[in-house]
Structure 1
Amino acid sequence: MIILIFFLAHWFLSLFFQTFYLHRYASHKMYSTHIIYERIFHALTFICQGSSFLNPRAYAIMHREHHAYSDTEKDPHSPHFFTDVFQMMWRTAQSYKLYEKRLKEPDAQFRGNYPEWHLVDYWGSTYGSRIFFILAYTAFYIAFATHWWMFLLLPIHFVMGPLHGAIVNWCGHKYGYSNFDNGDKSKNSIPLDFLMLGELFQNNHHKRPNHSNFAAKWYEFDPVYPVMKMMHWMRIIKLRKPIMG
């Protein structure tokens, strides 16, 4: 039971900060917040993603490219140019590394207005940091696992961030239904997206990239949006008024 709780906590906390901070804030600026809260969210993203920490600057640049070139040859991770999800993940990782290590500069339209914390961003991307978290996860499993099969969950902890991205990018542009004609292949995979915290409403999101609520129809539910509304009410964040379109 302890291992299951730990796994689910890591899954959803890592995913929450990926969608709430990296996606909705770093990439789209769907809300504004004080620098103190920004630093707290940044640190929590590092802690919760752990060994698979994703640099907010690199993430934001690639995601903006994804929107600009959705499902074309210039899309950094469209599933329609790869034979399987592993090839897509490998190509995505290569593109990500170029921005993370600043070996490539993005086009002007994708630059700026993303959070940077050089100390955390540097340390979170080092082998030392990633190995530390991997050893910590392994030690936890050694201490609390009660069956051998539980150790099969460990590799998921190691690559949690990229795994979430792969599920969203592959499934969200291949499987499901469409509410809007966006000129791409984006899909809404399921109407109640709890497992991926709203990220699989890709068709809605590509139609309305400024909207903090990824759900669009009455039968759809984005579980992160009520949390953001509560944080807005508590004045932790200020939700941006979306541009209609």
Structure 2
Amino acid sequence: TVSPGIRFAFRVLIWLTTGIRPRQWAAVHRRHHAYTDVEGDPHSPLLLGFWRVQLTNAALYRKVARDGANTQRYAKDLPPDRWDTLLFDHAVLGLGIGIAILCVSLGWEWGLVASAIHAVTYLMLNGAINAFGHVTGSQPYPNTARNNQWLAWLTAGEGLHNNHHAAPTSAKLALGRGQTDPGWWLISLLARAKRATIRLEQPRFAKGNVPATSSAP
């Protein structure tokens, strides 16, 4: 749990760089965990194919994110607040302001180039978490997700996807020897600065995911 100021800063950053509504993202993500790689999973490469998920992950996400019933079911604990109504529910506005900031900072040509690079990188890495993360990599825990350390370096630890499915409430994704979670560095820094509270000191494993004595990256 992060402090209100840090939480708001993250919301602004997400709004400017992705346009995602956090409660919709949470609902889609929770549904993925409820139906991992079985009928009902919004973006399973085992059901839909690797390349469809890798290349059209955003469209698959958007289809479920727009389902109000899904959001109500899986994110009813995250009701919209006044900032959502005023700013964060307006994705195009956030992205437009983000692009404008880059254009003012870098000049309009380089600003547009930077925006395009960011968009492609963001979309492809998000797709990779769901595609590579359920098709190839190590499986130290008995679930259908996979660990890829190379992807974890590029996605702040999210490439350690098998670990995440094994202990979905753990803030730390690196659970074995030889694994690195860059996102944990930021979380630890915020905790030391008393701007975040780590609610679970030890990972709480999902049913059937017996902790491994050692994990391959």
Above 0.5 in TM-score? yes
Among residues 11, 24, 27, which one is paired with 1:42 in the alignment? 11
Q: Share of identical aligned residues, percent? A: 22
Whose RCO is larger (CA < 8 A, sep 6+)?
A: 1
Is structure 2 residue 169 aligned with structure 1 residue 169?
Answer: no
For residues 1-245 of structure 1, the aligned pairs below 5 Å read: 32-47=1-16, 49=17, 52-83=18-49, 84=51, 85-98=54-67, 102=68, 104-106=69-71, 108-113=73-78, 116=81, 117-118=83-84, 119-123=86-90, 125=91, 127-134=92-99, 137=102, 140=106, 142=108, 151=113, 154-158=115-119, 161-182=122-143, 185-190=144-149, 193-241=152-200, 242=202, 244-245=204-205
RMSD, matched Cα:
2.8
Residue aligned with 2:197, SS: strand
Aligned residues: 198
Q: Which residue of 2 aligns with 1:17?
A: none
Q: Which residue of 2 aligns with 1:7?
A: none
Gap change, CA 1:143 and 1:202, over 3 Å in 2: same
**TM-score (normalised: structure 2):** 0.77
**TM-score (normalised: structure 1):** 0.69
- Say whether the 8 Å CA contact 1:191–1:219 is kept in structure 2: no
Aligned equivalents of 2:24, 2:121: Cα separation in 1: 17
Structure 1 residue ranges without an equivalent (≥5): 1-31
- What is the letter of the counterpart of residue 159 of structure 2? L
Gap change, CA 1:136 and 1:229, over 3 Å in 2: closer
TM-superposed deviation, 1:41: 2.1
Structure 2 residue ranges without an equivalent (≥5): 206-217
Gap change, CA 1:186 and 1:217, over 3 Å in 2: same
Per-residue deviation, residues 100-153 of structure 1 (Å, max 9, x unmatched): xx4x34464542147753122123x1x3443444455467365559xxxx95x6
- Say whether the 8 Å CA contact 1:192–1:222 is kept in structure 2: no
Gap change, CA 1:141 and 1:75, over 3 Å in 2: farther
